[in-house]
Amino acid sequence: MGYYVRVEPNVKVYVEDVNPQGAKTILFLHGWPLSHEAFEYQFNVLPAKGYRCIGIDTRGFGKSDKPWGPYNLDRMADDVRGVVEALKLHHFTLAGHSYGGATAVRYMARHHGHGVSKLALFAAAAPSLTRRPGYPYGQTKEAVNQLIEETYSDRPNMLRNLENQFFFRHITKPFSDWIMYLEFAATGNSTAKVAMSFRDESLFSDLGKIKVPTLILHGIHDKVCFPELAIAQHEGIKNSKLVWFKFSGHALFYEERDKFNEELMKFIEQG
């Protein structure tokens, strides 16, 4: 079922809730510039295994409201808290991809992991998507600036070019068109401002505040969030496990979906 949750007086975010009677809950946070629908190949499988799968469309994306602002990690984490409270979630697994992974990390630090029993990060944009002094592993800020400039001048072309970084293996043109359909549901404003967020914000101090068991899944061919980011997450989060995906780029939850789903379920079922 799908419904809206009010997270600010004039802002509602869309929530898709599949198998509400599932024994264990997974709350999925999508990456930029997608929507919860990107997790179709998890939502097709995991509910049949007894899991409740909840997907949030981040503000500005998918079916959620698209205010002018703000678009930053604190606001995104607060939106997640609003959903958690509205649905009265507890003892759930928080799972985030790319910028959704960054949002999950900020939620754990800012809201002290409220309700979360386990954390799953996949191709997460943490601790920083961009390079910084003493941290040479991310994208250059110039590269992100180019994405922002192209978003304002020719967003369709920017999104089409982005696919060259997103996938390691060949995808069909219909699948490529579907991905772009998901991305077009966002506004240019939200697309650009979230890019500004992952260009400028970092999570170095947040990692050490995570106190729950954490699974880190990452493709070795990731050209968006480089593999070094996963290593930094593993080093910064106590009680974390890192699993590499040898045949994936940034979209490991699709490119190696069977392995992804199995690793996620195995992690959740562990005591």
Looking at the chain, how many residues does it have? 271
Cα angle 77-159-251, degrees, rounded to a multiple of 5: 60
Question: Quick check: is 250 catalytic?
Answer: yes
Q: Helix (H, G, I), strand (E, B), or coil: what is residue 48?
A: helix
17 catalytic? Reply is no
Classify residue 134 as exposed, middle or buried by CB count within 10 Å of its CB (0-12, 13-18, 19+): exposed
Active-site entry in 30, 97, 221, 250: 250
Catalytic residue among 128, 222, 240, 248: 222
The catalytic residue among 35, 98, 128, 202 is 98
CB neighbourhood size of 205 (10 A): 10
Contact 110, 77 (CB under 8 A): yes
User: In angstroms, rounded to a whole number, what is the distance separating the alpha carbons of residues 45 and 38?
Assistant: 14
Do residues 135 and 142 lie in contact, with contact meaning Cβ atoms separated by under 8 Å?
no
Catalytic residues, by residue number, are 98, 222, 250
